[in-house]
Amino acid sequence: MTGERIFHYLCIGCPLGCRLEVEENAAGTDVEVRGWGCKTGKAYGRQEHTDPRRVVATSVRVSGGRWARLPVKTSGPVPKAMVRDVARAVRPVAVAAPVAAGTVIVADVLGTGVDMIATRDMERA
Amino acid sequence: MITPEVRQLAPRYDVVVSGAGPAGMAAAVGARERGAERILLIDREREAGGILWQCIHHGFGLHHFGEELTGPEYAERCLRQVTDGGIDVLTDTYVYDISPDRTLTLMSGSHGMRQVRAGAVVLAMGARERTRGAIRIPGERPAGVLTAGLAQKFVNMMGLLPGRRVVILGSGDIGLIMARRLTLEGVEVLGVFEIMPYANGLNRNIVQCLHDFDIPLSLSTTVVDIRGRERVEGVTVAPVDQALRPDMSRAHDIACDTVLLSIGLIPENELSRRIDLRLDPVTSGPVVNSTMETSIGGVFACGNVVHIHDLVDFVSQESLLAGRAAGDYVTGRRPPADNIRLLPGDNVAYCVPHTLSTDREHVVYMRVRKPMEKCTIRFGDVFSVKVRYVFPAEMVNITMKPKFLENFHGDSLRVDVVQR
Amino acid sequence: MLYDVAIVGGGVIGCAIARALSRFRLRVVLLEKECEVGFGTSKSNSGIIHAGHHAAGGTLKGELEWAGNRMWDALHEELDFGFARNGELMLAMAGDQLPVLEHYRRQGIERGVTGLEIWDRERIHREEPAISADVVAALHAATAGVVNPYEVCFSLIESARRNGVALLVDSPVRGIARDGDGTFALQTPGGAVPARFVVNAAGLYSDEVARMVGAGGFSIHPRKGEEYLLDKRLKGLVRNVIFPCPTPQSKGILVIPTYDGTLMVGPTATFVDDKNDRTTSAKGAEEVFAAVRRLVPGISERDCIAEFAGLRAVADGEDFIIGPTAVRGFVNCAGIQSPGLTSAPAIAERIVAILKDEGLAMEPNPEYEPRLRKRVRFAALPMEEQARLAEEDSRFGRIGCRCEQVSEREILDAIHAGARTLDGIKFRTRAGMGRCQGGFCTWRSMQMLSAELGIPMTAITKRGGASWIVCDREEGDAA
C-alpha cells in the first residue's frame, strides 16, 4: 500500500532539478519530503504535493486596438488542476480598445476567487 | 501604455540608444541617472518595449523589480521610467550607420532620413533566433517550419495559430513557453526534442510548461528529416550518440503539421560589424570593458547584443550599468581604465565584461561549456567561489570586490571552473 | 477566346518565349501549374550566365549557350533584373588538369568566345586571395555572369503581360485534345484553353505534356542539385564564379557570388526518381562543403543560413530537345538543363523562328514596349537617393526586412507587380532571404499581403497550394 503514498516531483528551485520524493503518512495528514538538496527544495516538495498552484497567462480578443490580442493573467495563482479550464473559459472573451493595464476582464474566473486582468494598455489603433 | 513619440528631432543628443527593448530602456534610464540631459531612444518597431510584449507569460522581474510580472507588465514598468525620465523615444526607425565622430544616420518611417550627433552611443539591438539553415535539417522545405519567437508573435499578438499538431525542436525557454501556450490554445504539442543530453531551458519551465501538460521531452534526440511538399506533413526523429550523430536504426516518424525551432539566439550585430567593433567569436557580441564600453570609445553595448542572457532581469541590470557609464562619459566622469583582462580557462566559454579594473566592484557574467556539480570557480589564485553546480543553460554571475584584487599585480586573470 | 499560341510552363524558358512572342500581334497565353511563374526549377537555379565555352561543340547546348550569353546585356537593359558579368575561374588543382583548361579555352575560342585567359597562381591570388594555395592555374572567362533567375522570370512575364500576353497560374495542363481543324484544347482545372499552336516548355513534365498529343518519344529524368546559401559576412570573399575542372557528368560544385553578394555553394548532381523530390540531405551538405573547401578554404558550414534543392530536367542524351514535332503546331522545348538559363533568350528566338516555319503569321506588335519601369532597389541606392525617396514616400523610410534592408514600399510594389505569396515577395524583394530567414518580417509581409489582396491571414501561403502559414484560433463557445 505504501507505493500509492509515494509521489515524485522535479524541483524547480535551480537547474540541478533534484528528484524529490514525497511520502504521505498513513492518515494522509502529513508528508515527508526526501531527495532535496536545500531548504527551498524541501518546501517546494511539500507545497507542490499538497496544494500546487499556477498563475495563468493567456490572451483575449480585442477589437480596434494596435494588436488583435490583449494579454491577460490571473490576479493570483489558481489550483494547478484548473489551469486548462481557466484558459478555456476565457477563450471566447472579446473586449474593445482602449483597455488599461489592470482592468478586470473576467471577475472571479470559474469561482476561483481570482480575476483575469489585462496586463498591458491597449490603445485604440 | 502610449509612449510619447518625439515630434522634433534635435540635431544633438548626449546619449543615443539603439534598440528600445529591455536593454535599451534600462540604458536610457541609467544615462539619465548620471546626468545626461538629452537622451534619444530608438527602435525599429512601432512601439518601444521589444520582445517583452509578446512574452505574455509570468515570471519576469523578481530580481529587478522585486515582484513577479508578465512580459508586458515588465515593459510597462520600464517604459514608465523612460517617460518619467523625459527621454525622447523614436520608434519606426532604423539606425543605418554610426560615423567615427558618433553621427548616427537614421532611416525613419515618420521622419525620413536624419542625422543626429551623439555624445555617447549605447547599442542594445538584442538578438535574433537561429533558423533551420543554421543547423541544416535535411528534408523538404514546406511551410510550417518556423522559429518559436515568430510563433509567439502570431499567437500572442495576432491571435493566429502556427498549426494544429506541433513538434518542437530544441529545449530553449521560448520553445518550452510556447509548448504551454499552444496547449492552452487547443493545439496538440507532440513533444520537445533536444539534441544535447541536458535541457537548455530552466527547470521551472520544464515542470510548468511540459510536465504540467504531459508533453514529453526527449533528450539526446533530434529531427533528422522534414516531410511535406507544401505544408509540413511529418518529421523523423532519431536519438544521437555522444558525437551527436543520429542513430538511424532507432529513428521514428511523427505526423505533424508544424515544426517550431527553439535552437538558440544570436546577438544582432549587423550595426556593430558595419562600424568595425571588435567582436568576441564565442559570444558573437562586442568585446566590452567593465563599463560596457566597446572597442570604440564612447560606444557602449548591453543586453543580448553583447551575450545571450537567460533572464531579462540581468539584461536590465547590465544595461543600467552601461547607461550609467554612457552618462558618466558625456558628463566627463571617466573612471580609471581597466587593468586586468579576464581569460576564459577550463570549462569557461566566455566572461563579460572582458576586462576589469581593481578600483571598483564588478559583476562578472560567465557561461560554462558543460554541466558540473560541486565545483569551484577560480579567478587565478586570488579569488575562488564554491558553487553546487554550473549548467551551460544558466549564466553564472559573480561579484568581484576590489579587496579580492588588491594584492594582484598581473594584467590577466585566468578563470576556471573545476571539480572539487 | 482562341489563342494563337499557348505556352505550357512558366519557367525561365516559357517566360522568355512569352516575351519574345509579345513583339508580335498575337494572342498568347502562358499556362503555369504553380501559383506564380518561376516557382519550379528556375527558382532554384544557380543563376549563372555561362561564359560560352562550357558546352561541347556539335550540340544544341553548344550552339545556344554562346548565342544566349550575348543577349543578356540588352535584356538586362530593358528589364532591370539583377545581372552582373563578374567572370568565372575554372581552377586546376593539379598539373594533370592543365590540359582540361586548355581544352575549354580552345573550345571557346573556336566558337568566338572572347576574354578567355589562362591565369597563373600569382595572378589568381592577386585577383582572388581567398582561393586555395594549392591551385596550379585557372582559366578565366570574362563573359561569365550571374543573375537572379527568379527575378528574370518575374521581369520577363511582367513585360510579356504589359505587351498583351495572358498568364494563367494554378493551371496545370491535365490533357490536350485536338479537334478537326487542328485546334488544340488544353485541359486545366479552370476549363479548356483553345490554341492554334502549343509550345511545350513544361520543364520536368515536358515528356508528359508531349505524350498528351502523341509527340513524346523522350523522357525527362530529374537530376537533383542541392545548394547552400551562406551568411553575408562572407560577402566579397570571391568575386568570380569559382569552378573546379568539370567532369563529363557535371560542371562540379561551385562557389557562386550571387548578384546580391551573398555566396552560394553547390550544386550536387544526383539522379532521382521523383519529380517532386526537392529534399536536401546531410550527405549533400557534406559533399558540397568538402568540395568547396578544397577550392576556397575560408568557407565553413557554420556560415550556412539556408539550403534548398532544385531538379534539372535532363532529357535522354543530355542535349536540349527543341523543335517541331510530328503533330503540326505542337513544338517541343524540352530537356533544358544547364546551360539552359544562359541559353534562354536564344532558345526563345529559336522558338519564334520555328513557329513561323510552322505557319504562324508574325505581324509586328505596333504597341510593343520592350522596357519595364526601373524598379527601386532601396538597399543598393546611395544614401542621398534613399533620403530623397524616404522624403517623397514615408514607406521607403520604413524598413520591412531588416537583414536585407528592404523597405515596405518595395514590398508593396512587389505585391502590385504580381506577388501573391510570401515566396513571391521574398524572391522579388529579398525580404526574408537574409540571416533571420523571415523571423522578424514574415508577420509584417503577411499583413501587407492580406491588406493589398483583401484576403485573410489564413489564406496566405508560402508558395501556393496547401502551403498555408497560420490557421485560425478556435475561439470556443461564446460565454
* Closest alpha carbon to B19 in B267, B238, B197: B267
Radius of gyration of chain C (CA): 23
Show the domain range for A13: 2-51
**In this structure, are strands C241-243 and C88-92 parallel, antiparallel, or unpaired?**
parallel
Radius of gyration of chain B (CA): 22
* Residues in Cβ contact with B271 at an 8 Å cutoff, skipping those fewer than 6 apart: B18, B95, B97, B98, B123, B125
Asked whether the beta carbons of residue B75 and residue A120 sit closer than 8 angstroms, the reply is yes
Q: Is residue B6 part of a domain?
A: no
Query: Which strand (E) or helix (H) includes residue B238?
Result: strand B234-239
What's the grid cell of residue B38?
Answer: 538629452
* Distances in whole angstroms, Cα of residue C66 to Cα of each of C29, C135, C351: 29, 27, 17
What's the grid cell of residue C285?
Answer: 551538405
On whether both A46 and A70 belong to a single domain, the answer is: no
Instruction: Flag residues of chain B having pLDDT under 70.
Output: 1-4
Chain B neighbors of C472, CB-CB under 8 A: 160-161
Q: What is the pLDDT of residue B2?
A: 52
Give the minimum alpha-carbon distance from B396 to chain A in angstroms, rounded to a whole number: 12
Q: How many CB pairs under 8 A join B and C?
A: 137
On whether both B24 and B141 belong to a single domain, the answer is: no
On whether both B322 and B350 belong to a single domain, the answer is: no
Show the domain range for B252: 131-263
Asked whether the beta carbons of residue A101 and residue B73 sit closer than 8 angstroms, the reply is yes
* Domain closes at, from A30, A51, A72: A51
On whether both A39 and A83 belong to a single domain, the answer is: no
DSSP state, B110?
T
Chain B neighbors of A94, CB-CB under 8 A: none
Q: Are C461 and C467 in contact (CB under 8 A)?
A: yes
Q: Is residue A94 part of a domain?
A: yes
User: Using 50, 70 and 90 to split pLDDT, how confident is the model at A15?
Assistant: low
CA–CA distance, C357 with C75 (Å, rounded to integer): 25
Q: What is the pLDDT of residue C87?
A: 97
Q: Are C331 and C325 in contact (CB under 8 A)?
A: yes
Radius of gyration of chain A (CA): 19
What's the grid cell of residue B321?
Answer: 550599468
DSSP string across B51-108: GGGG--SEEE-TTTTSS-EEHHHHHHHHHHHHHHTT-EEE-SEEEEEE-TT-EEEEEE
Q: How many CB pairs under 8 A join A and B?
A: 96
CATH no. for residue B323? 3.50.50.60
* CATH 3.50.50.60 domain locations along chain C: 1-83+146-219+316-374
Total number of domains constituting chain A: 2
On whether both A7 and A24 belong to a single domain, the answer is: yes
Asked whether the beta carbons of residue B184 and residue A87 sit closer than 8 angstroms, the reply is yes
Chain C neighbors of B161, CB-CB under 8 A: 470-473
Chain C: touching chains (3 or more CB pairs < 8 Å): A, B
CA–CA distance, C341 with C148 (Å, rounded to integer): 11
Q: Are B140 and B230 in contact (CB under 8 A)?
A: no
Q: What is the pLDDT of residue C475?
A: 60
On whether both A108 and A64 belong to a single domain, the answer is: yes
CA–CA distance, B318 with B122 (Å, rounded to integer): 12
Which position has the grid cell 544526383?
A: C270
Dihedral through CA C170, CA C174, CA C178, CA C183, nearest 10?
10
Residue A3 scores a pLDDT above 80 = no
* CATH 3.30.9.10 domain locations along chain C: 88-142+221-312
CA–CA distance, B105 with B83 (Å, rounded to integer): 24
Q: Is residue B165 part of a domain?
A: yes
Q: What pLDDT digit, counting tens, does each position of A30-85 carry?
A: 889 998 888 888 999 999 999 999 999 999 999 999 999 999 999 999 999 999 99
Instruction: Flag residues of chain C having pLDDT under 50.
Output: 477-479
Asked whether the beta carbons of residue C233 and residue B273 sit closer than 8 angstroms, the reply is yes
C1-83+146-219+316-374: in CATH 3.40.50.20: no
* Residues in Cβ contact with A27 at an 8 Å cutoff, skipping those fewer than 6 apart: none
Q: Are B215 and B208 in contact (CB under 8 A)?
A: no
Asked whether the beta carbons of residue A92 and residue C474 sit closer than 8 angstroms, the reply is no
Residue C202's φ and ψ, nearest 5 degrees, are -90, 15
Query: Is it true that the peptide bond before A98 is cis, omega within 30 degrees of 0?
Result: yes
Q: What is the pLDDT of residue A1?
A: 45
Q: Is residue A35 part of a domain?
A: yes
Q: What is the pLDDT of residue C147?
A: 97
* Closest alpha carbon to A31 in A49, A44, A18, A19: A49
Catalytic residues of C: 50
- Considering only CB atoms, C307 lies closest to which of B133, B185, B230, namely B133
Dihedral through CA C245, CA C250, CA C253, CA C254, nearest 10?
70
- Considering only CB atoms, A93 lies closest to which of C473, C474, C479, namely C479
* Residues in Cβ contact with C91 at an 8 Å cutoff, skipping those fewer than 6 apart: C124, C131, C132, C135, C138, C242, C243, C244, C245, C295
CA–CA distance, C263 with C177 (Å, rounded to integer): 46
Q: Is residue A17 part of a domain?
A: yes
Asked whether the beta carbons of residue B113 and residue C443 sit closer than 8 angstroms, the reply is no
What's the grid cell of residue B208?
Answer: 510548468
What's the grid cell of residue B212?
Answer: 504540467
Question: C88-142+221-312: which CATH number, 3.30.565.10, 3.30.9.10, 3.40.50.300, 3.30.360.10?
Answer: 3.30.9.10
Which position has the grid cell 587593468?
A: B339
* Closest alpha carbon to B2 in A59, A63, A117, A124: A124
Instruction: Give which of B54, B99, B113, B244 to mutate to test C binding, by max C Cβ within 10 Å.
Output: B113
Chain A neighbors of B58, CB-CB under 8 A: 55, 57, 73
* Distances in whole angstroms, Cα of residue B252 to Cα of each of B94, B111, B198, B238, B239: 45, 55, 21, 6, 9
Q: State the amino acid at position C125 in one-letter form.
A: H
CATH no. for residue B348? 2.60.40
Q: Using DSSP, how many helices (H) and how many strands (E) does chain B show?
A: 9, 28
* Residues in Cβ contact with A21 at an 8 Å cutoff, skipping those fewer than 6 apart: A6, A7, A8, A33, A34, A35
Instruction: Give which of A59, A93, A109 to mutate to test C binding, by max C Cβ within 10 Å.
Output: A93
Q: Is residue A124 part of a domain?
A: no
Interface residues from chain B to A (CB-CB < 8 Å)? 1-2, 46-47, 53, 56-58, 68, 70-73, 75-76, 155-159, 181, 183-186, 202-204, 206-208, 211-213, 373, 388-389, 391, 393-394
Q: Is residue B309 part of a domain?
A: yes
Asked whether the beta carbons of residue A93 and residue C474 sit closer than 8 angstroms, the reply is no
* CATH 1.10.10.1100 domain locations along chain C: 378-459
Q: Using DSSP, how many helices (H) and how many strands (E) does chain A show?
A: 2, 10
Q: Is residue A125 part of a domain?
A: no
What's the grid cell of residue B398?
Answer: 559573480
* Distances in whole angstroms, Cα of residue C187 to Cα of each of C13, C171, C190, C201, C465: 21, 9, 8, 16, 19
Asked whether the beta carbons of residue C475 and residue A91 sit closer than 8 angstroms, the reply is yes
Q: Which fold has domain C378-459?
A: Arc Repressor Mutant, subunit A (1.10.10)
Counting every residue, how long is chain C? 479
Q: Does C381 touch chain B (CB under 8 A)?
A: no
On whether both B38 and B121 belong to a single domain, the answer is: yes
DSSP string across C289-323: HHHHHHH-TT--GGGEEEEEEEEEEEETTSS-EEE
Asked whether the beta carbons of residue C467 and residue B109 sit closer than 8 angstroms, the reply is no
Chain A's closest residue to C478, CA to CA, is: A92
Q: Is residue A93 part of a domain?
A: yes
Instruction: Give which of B70, B185, B210, B390 to mutate to test A binding, by max A Cβ within 10 Å.
Output: B70
DSSP state, A111?
G
Give the minimum alpha-carbon distance from A88 to chain C in angstroms, rounded to a whole number: 7
